[in-house]
Amino acid sequence: EAGVTQFPSHSVIEKGQTVTLRCDPISGHDNLYWYRRVMGKEIKFLLHFVKESKQDESGMPNNRFLAERTGGTYSTLKVQPAELEDSGVYFCASSQIQGASHEKLFFGSGTQLSVL
Amino acid sequence: GQNIDQPTEMTATEGAIVQINCTYQTSGFNGLFWYQQHAGEAPTFLSYNVLDGLEEKGRFSSFLSRSKGYSYLLLKELQMKDSASYLCAPRHAGNNRKLIWGLGTSLAVNP
């Protein structure tokens, strides 16, 4: 079974440019999460999709970040325009059943974003 | 507020036992996860505790005390491949269900 895949694995862009990160969750997983880890700091929640709907986007830093999950399959996270403080590793995770108490998250390897 | 506290680094010897402690403060609680992360790789699930007590799974065990806001991960018969970062992550209660992460403990296993 394929795991959670993220693309690209690395992205280096200049301040002011646009970058789009993609996440393909495990097939059949309704829950999809985006997390971010800035160097030296803890992993922070960004948002949570249940199928194509945003369940919780309280962690999105500002309106330069736009996440979509059209059709409830893969998700994209667009940063426009990128700023220096957006640099970090962006993780995507998926899980199967929201109602289960033991909801195990499966993580992708992350996208390392560097904004210069 | 929300706060997770773990030791930053630990060192142990191959074949030994190591205990990684985690204390937490969260607004609402719905279980606690431990994840392992090797450098440059995805965090991988190790254990989940929602009730007080010890959960054992092979060489790894995890303990939870909800009243004390405390958990630990116990690794037995350490192997070199256990060198990694170990992340304690309690989960919010309610509909958002998001995980709150600590900085993780970097464990180095020496021969």
Determine the pLDDT at residue A41: 87
How far B46 CA sits from the closest chain A CA (Å)?
10
String of DSSP letters for A57-107: -TT--STTEEEE-GGGS-EEEEESS--GGG-EEEEEEEES-TT-SS---EE
Determine the pLDDT at residue A33: 94
B105-110 and B18-25 as β-strands: parallel, antiparallel, unpaired? Answer: unpaired
The distance of Cα B108 from the centroid of its chain, to the nearest Å, equals 15
How far B14 CA sits from the closest chain A CA (Å)?
27
pLDDT at A93 over 90: yes
Q: State whether A109 and B40 contact (CB < 8 Å).
A: yes
Identify all chain A residues contacting B87, using CB atoms and an 8 Å cutoff: 43
Comparison of pLDDT for B42 and B95, the residue scoring more: B42
Tell which phi-psi region holds residue A84, choosing left (phi > 0), alpha (psi between -120 and 50) or beta: alpha
- Cβ contacts of residue B94 below 8 Å, gap of 6+? B28, B30
Interval B90-96 mean pLDDT: 75
Determine the pLDDT at residue B87: 95
pLDDT at B35 over 60: yes
Interval A94-98 mean pLDDT: 79
Determine the pLDDT at residue A101: 58
Q: State whether A43 and B45 contact (CB < 8 Å).
A: no
Give the residue ranges of DSSP H helices in B1-111: none
Highest mean pLDDT among A46-50, A65-69, B28-32: A65-69
Determine the pLDDT at residue A98: 57
How far A82 CA sits from the closest chain B CA (Å)?
23
Q: Which of A103, A104, A106, A111 to mutate to test the interface with B (most CBs of B within 10 A)?
A: A103
Identify all chain B residues contacting A107, using CB atoms and an 8 Å cutoff: 35, 42-44
Interval A43-52 mean pLDDT: 92
Backbone angles phi, psi at B80, to 5 degrees: -60, -35
pLDDT at A99 over 60: no
Comparison of pLDDT for B98 and A43, the residue scoring more: A43
Q: SS3 of A10, please?
A: strand
- Report how far residue A29's alpha carbon sits from residue A12's, in angstroms, rounded to the nearest whole number: 30
